[in-house]
Amino acid sequence: MHRFFIIVLAALALMSAFVDAQDTQLVVVPAVAYGLPGFGNNLWTSEIYFSNPTSAPGTYRMADILPGYTVPPDAWNSCLWTGPWEGHVAPQSSKWYSMGSDLCFATEAVGAYVFEVTQGLVVSSRMVNHDPKAIESCCPMLTGFGSELPGIPIDQVPQAGAHLLPSLVWHPDRCGARTFDTYVGFANPFEVEVNVVIDLAGDSADPGNSGFPRHLTIPPFSWQQISIDPPKSDAATCGSSEMFDLRVEIDGPLAIYASIVDRDRQDGRIVLPLAIE
């Protein structure tokens, strides 16, 4: 009887471990930054939020870093940081984390994070445009304009095929300071490189624009962001800001986003891709 009881307990433990293993998912935050120089003296720093709308406790764990760059170089890999760090979120509660302590004394950093979280836990982030003195105190939540960027479950990242990045903005034929900047970013949390072709889409298509199409290769476990510059012209008059759309073709799964920054207010807006049918 005692032996049977032990066997039952062991079986239940194995079942529990199996359920726990099945009860987590990977989530990629496609862009995170710390002390990243912006326009003028402003900096960009990310805050990450973990929200638990369920009735059970939740956990999160740093699973991977998709490096872009750091100052000094390679700070994520050059010292013994404490990752993978983890945390717990009570039912119907949230926790937040401001980048900094995970950077091994880097003064600048940009890339992407991958978290392993319990099913039901929602990961989101905000990249805040702030005064340089704000991060010296480390702990208070940052204030300023910012861009909301959701965490994307890894099985929901855009798949191979064509995708639309809509309603972007640039400023061709400007006479003074630029009013908008647009960037396109990629986070590859997989072990296979992904080839990317970017072109103007729909009404924005212009065969005479020598800047398109653009070809990129995103290596495995990496992050990359490029600037989308407006076409150059010999127009005699000053132009205003214009909306445009991009077609992005990928040959494998890849997290994609566009960031549009209003340079007058240093305010950002994030656009996520739509699958082209």
CA distance 270 to 61: 25
Answer whether residue 8 is part of any domain: no
Mean pLDDT of 95-123: 85
Give the residue from 247, 199, 197 showing the smallest Cα distance to 217.
197
Among 132, 156, 180, identify where a domain stops: 156
Answer whether residue 188 is part of any domain: yes
Answer whether residue 61 is part of any domain: yes
At which residue do the structure tokens 């995970």 appear? 102
Same domain, 94 and 177: no
| Domain extent at residue 69 | 23-156
Answer whether residue 5 is part of any domain: no
Mean pLDDT of 157-177: 88
Same domain, 123 and 172: no
Q: Classify burial at 258, counting beta carbons within 10 Å of its beta carbon; exposed 0-12, middle 13-18, buried 19 or more.
A: buried
Residue 182 maps to which CATH number?
Answer: 2.60.290.11
Same domain, 103 and 146: yes
Mean pLDDT of 194-202: 96
Confidence of residue 117 (pLDDT cuts 50, 70, 90): very high
- 77-81, 105-109, 164-168, 201-205: range with highest mean pLDDT: 164-168
What does the pLDDT read at residue 4?
35
Sign of CA dihedral 41, 47, 76, 30: negative
Same domain, 232 and 117: no
What does the pLDDT read at residue 82?
45
Same domain, 32 and 126: yes
Confidence of residue 100 (pLDDT cuts 50, 70, 90): low
Query: Kindly report the CA angle at 35 between 31 and 37, in degrees rounded to 5?
Result: 90
Whole-number mean pLDDT of the chain?
Answer: 82
Ranges of H-type helices in 55-167: none
CA distance 211 to 198: 10
Residue 136 has pLDDT above 90, yes or no: no
Answer whether residue 40 is part of any domain: yes
What does the pLDDT read at residue 78?
62
Same domain, 60 and 78: yes
CA distance 119 to 184: 29
Residue 258 has pLDDT above 50, yes or no: yes
pTM of the full structure:
0.84
What does the pLDDT read at residue 145?
74
What does the pLDDT read at residue 135?
59
Number of domains present in the structure of the chain: 2
Q: Identify the residue with better confidence: 83 or 179.
A: 179
Confidence of residue 15 (pLDDT cuts 50, 70, 90): very low
Mean pLDDT of 180-194: 95
Same domain, 129 and 231: no
Sign of CA dihedral 35, 194, 115, 54: positive
Same domain, 28 and 145: yes
Residue 22 has pLDDT above 60, yes or no: no
Give the residue from 228, 255, 125, 213 showing the smallest Cα distance to 171.
228
Strand, helix or coil at 230?
A: coil
Same domain, 192 and 228: yes
CA distance 210 to 221: 31
Answer whether residue 244 is part of any domain: yes
Q: Which residues of 8-46 are buried (b: 16+ CB within 10 A; e: fewer)?
A: eeeeeeeeeeeeeeeebbbbbbbbbbbbbebeeebbbbb
Q: Enter the tokens of residue 4.
A: 């049977």
Confidence of residue 26 (pLDDT cuts 50, 70, 90): very high
